[in-house]
Amino acid sequence: MSTVGAAAPRTATPKARGERRLSAANRATLSIICFVIGAVGLIPLIWTLSLSIRTSSDVFSDRILPHSFRLSNFVDAWNQFGLGTLFWHSIVVTFGTVVITTVLAVTSAYGFNRYRTRVTEAIFVVILTGLMVPPAAVIIPFFVAMTRLGLYNTLVSVVIGESVFALPFSLLLLRGYINTIPLELTDAARVDGASQLQAFRYVALPLLKPALATVALFSTISTWNGFLLPLVLLNNSATSTLTVGLTSVQSQYGALNLQLLSAAAVLAILPILAVFVAARRYYVQGLSAGAVKQ
Amino acid sequence: MFIAPATAFFTLFLLFPVLAVLGLAFTNWTGFNLSQIHWGGVANFRQLGSDPIFTQALLHTVIFVAVTTVVLNAVGLPIALLINTKVAGHDFLRIAMFLPLGLSPVLTAILWQEVLGPYGLINELVVHTLHLQSTPIGFLGDPHLALITVLLASVWQYTGYNMLLYYAGLQSLPKERLEAAAIDGAGALRRLRYVTLPYLRPIIAVVVVLNLIGGWKVFDLIYVLTGGGPNHSTEVLSTYLYQQAFTLNSVGYASSIAVAIIALATVSALMRGRLAGEAL
């Protein structure tokens, strides 16, 4: 699965070769280009961080660099915008989605691998077409269905929606991974008298653990960052999930309390970037695997 | 047994909605009251043809997808090559490109609003530091600039995606080929032209299709950054659909916009099918 990702052994040899090819002047030029592009890329993050610690008058002065330092912006933003509720809703939705997506993806990936018939292959292909469907294209029937089921304005409806959109990619990743591990072991367990479910639970599942981490990471990021589903399915944007809540804050306070909006944005950015950076290895592997398999 | 739950879940909540929206596009449903669905034939599609805002939204969507795909590759591949030189600072650049990928499009929109707004960094520089202009530039308020601003924010967010895919591809580039070319006297540019790029060609094709598929899904960023405005200058199909369905309650008409989105996405899907040379 991770042929591309795994084939990145950072031995000293290629590095040394690379160094030999470039002259010192060229290397210095390229280094400068690296730092300049990187710095420009970080401007939006740094600017928002710099706004988040200013006083109101400093925000609307014509100074570029902050001349004030007000950490209580973060406390004010948290209290004034009800960030606690928004965070809690995002956590619940993300947790629910990760559980449902992972369970559905791992069981079906295993099933698709074990029972290969023309019908199951066709089903697999149909589910993969879900990768292509823009959420906006199906939001109307989905909204109607959730209303009819009495799930409108519940976090459950958002969990269902996020899960169904996260499922195809998770299945693709797991199916790719599952083909690389020796699942014949489950046949051996069957011969020894284990039930199908036992063979899956005690033989296959432990072997799939590394790929499950990747799947969980991808559905965490896509759900935490999801916007259209909570926007449509929850009726009060101020007590929705974090993404929708932030847009409500932005439209109400964005013009007058830029420092508080910035503080809220920084608070929203920190946890997801922490997860993202800590798990970047899994992310890169999943990205390569998905691209290669596709 | 193992396939059934996922299949049922998918059928119920994604396959069925796709089929339902295809049907709803042929109704003149307004509001969300189920008793008021009436068959409308192809009237919605006729209306799309004569709706100037739809034409604009379609045009902007195609521009958005085409420009982001071209720019992301034109910027992502050179950056991956630059990082692959492993010169000092390559790790810094990689992290700077990688971070925006973890953010939601909503946060990306908020960040760029703060940089480009009337009190943003760029306008502070232009108006107060450099005195180039006495009034702030309306990056989001000027109909001529808004689409460019939206494109810029999108490219900022996803350059790291292309960079990571190309960087991963470069790691599997057989070093012997580069060595052989170097021994034969090929300079860095010739090695790039005759060894690296031909090797990357299939990867470039896959990345381009992934960018197309991602591009058709755009909604969040534009909805938050401009709401499709000013005066529909950044309206794309998804924002127009949202407005028709959830603001104006023209559900049947909005469904026909959804059909247009699905049709465009299907074209990319077929391209990917041909690329992979198998079922998908």
A70 inside domain? no
CA A258 to chain centre: 27
pLDDT at A7 over 70: no
The CATH number of residue B208's host domain is: 1.10.3720.10
* Average pLDDT of the residues in A267-290: 86
Cα nearest neighbour of A249 on chain B? B110
- pLDDT value at residue B60: 95
- pLDDT value at residue B96: 93
Interface of A with B in 45-104 (CB under 8 A): 45, 47-48, 51, 59-60, 62-64, 103-104
- pLDDT value at residue B138: 85
When mean pLDDT is compared across A40-44, A241-245, B184-188, B193-197, the lowest value belongs to B184-188
The reported pTM is 0.88
B57 inside domain? yes
Q: Which residue intervals of chain B are DSSP H helices?
A: 4-10, 16-24, 43-50, 52-84, 90-102, 105-116, 121-123, 143-171, 175-183, 188-191, 197-216, 220-225, 237-242, 251-276
CB B223 within 8 A of CB B200: no
What DSSP state is assigned to residue B124? I
A42 inside domain? no
CB B140 within 8 A of CB B117: yes
Q: CB distance from B29 to chain A under 8 Å?
A: no
Q: CB distance from B96 to chain A under 8 Å?
A: yes
Q: For A162-196, b where at least 16 C-beta lie within 10 A, e where not — what string?
A: bbbbbbbbbbbbbbbbbeeeebeebeebeeeebee
- pLDDT value at residue A163: 95
Nearest residue, CB atoms, B219 vs list A8, A228, A284: A228
- pLDDT value at residue A199: 84
Q: Which of B247, B133, B75 is nearest to A37 (CA)?
A: B75
For residue B107, list chain A residues with Cβ-Cβ distance below 8 A.
225, 243, 246, 265, 268-269
pLDDT at A3 over 70: no
- pLDDT value at residue A18: 47
Number of domains comprising chain B: 1
What lies within 8 Å, CB to CB, of B229 at 6+ separation is: B146, B235
Encode chain B (280 residues) as per-residue pLDDT tens digits.
Answer: 788 888 888 888 988 999 989 989 898 888 887 777 888 888 889 888 899 999 999 999 999 999 999 999 999 999 999 999 888 889 999 999 999 999 999 999 999 998 998 888 888 888 888 888 888 888 888 888 999 999 999 999 999 999 999 998 888 888 888 888 888 877 788 888 888 888 888 888 888 888 998 899 999 999 999 988 898 999 999 999 999 999 998 899 999 999 999 999 888 777 766 665 443 3
B155 inside domain? yes
B32 inside domain? no
- pLDDT value at residue B277: 46
B17 inside domain? no
Helix (H, G, I), strand (E, B) or coil at B39: strand
A215 inside domain? yes
Give CA separation, B52 vs A136, A143, B14, B48, B245, in Å: 21, 27, 31, 8, 18
Give CA separation, B148 vs A132, B191, B217, B222, B263, in Å: 26, 35, 18, 11, 25
Are B87 and A120 a contacting pair at CB < 8 A? no
Q: CB distance from A12 to chain B under 8 Å?
A: no
* Average pLDDT of the residues in A252-278: 87
| A vs B: CB pairs below 8 A | 304
Q: Using CA atoms, how far apart are residues A194 and A130, in angstroms rounded to an integer?
A: 34
The CATH number of residue A204's host domain is: 1.10.3720.10
Q: CB distance from B86 to chain A under 8 Å?
A: yes
B41 inside domain? no
Are B3 and A120 a contacting pair at CB < 8 A? yes
Q: CB distance from B148 to chain A under 8 Å?
A: no
In tens, the pLDDT along A172-228 reads 888 888 888 777 788 888 888 888 888 888 888 888 888 898 899 999 999 999 999
Mutating which of B11, B91, B93 best tests the A interface, going by the most A Cβ atoms within 10 A? B93
Are B13 and A164 a contacting pair at CB < 8 A? yes
- pLDDT value at residue A208: 87
CB B229 within 8 A of CB B141: no
Nearest residue, CB atoms, B251 vs list A133, A140, A224: A140
Q: How confident is the model at residue A19 (pLDDT cuts 50, 70, 90)?
A: very low
pLDDT at A6 over 60: no
**Range of the structural domain that residue A187 is part of:** 77-293
- pLDDT value at residue B232: 92
Helix (H, G, I), strand (E, B) or coil at A51: helix
Residue of higher predicted confidence among A14 and B42? B42
A2 inside domain? no
Are A246 and B107 a contacting pair at CB < 8 A? yes
What lies within 8 Å, CB to CB, of A285 at 6+ separation is: A1, A2, A5, A6, A214
Q: How confident is the model at residue A35 (pLDDT cuts 50, 70, 90)?
A: very high
In tens, the pLDDT along B107-163 reads 999 999 989 988 888 888 888 888 888 888 888 888 889 999 999 999 999 999 999
Nearest residue, CB atoms, B224 vs list A131, A142, A247: A247
Beta bridge partners of B27: B39
Q: CB distance from B204 to chain A under 8 Å?
A: no
HSE, CB side, 13 Å, CA atoms: give it for residue B119. 18
For residue A171, list chain B residues with Cβ-Cβ distance below 8 A.
6
HSE, CB side, 13 Å, CA atoms: give it for residue B197. 11
A49 inside domain? no
ipTM value: 0.89
CA A226 to chain centre: 9
Across chain A, mean pLDDT equals: 84
Are A134 and B16 a contacting pair at CB < 8 A? no
For residue A268, list chain B residues with Cβ-Cβ distance below 8 A.
107
B272 inside domain? yes
Are B90 and A284 a contacting pair at CB < 8 A? no
For residue B156, list chain A residues with Cβ-Cβ distance below 8 A.
41, 44
- pLDDT value at residue A20: 52
A239 inside domain? yes
Mutating which of B13, B34, B189 best tests the A interface, going by the most A Cβ atoms within 10 A? B13
B80 inside domain? yes
| Token pair belonging to A47 | 């600017």
Number of domains comprising chain A: 1
Q: Using CA atoms, how far apart are residues B3 and A232, in angstroms rounded to an integer?
A: 30
Q: CB distance from A116 to chain B under 8 Å?
A: no
Cα nearest neighbour of B153 on chain A? A44
A3 inside domain? no
B1 inside domain? no
Q: CB distance from A177 to chain B under 8 Å?
A: no
Mutating which of A65, A133, A142, A282 best tests the B interface, going by the most B Cβ atoms within 10 A? A133
Helix (H, G, I), strand (E, B) or coil at A22: coil
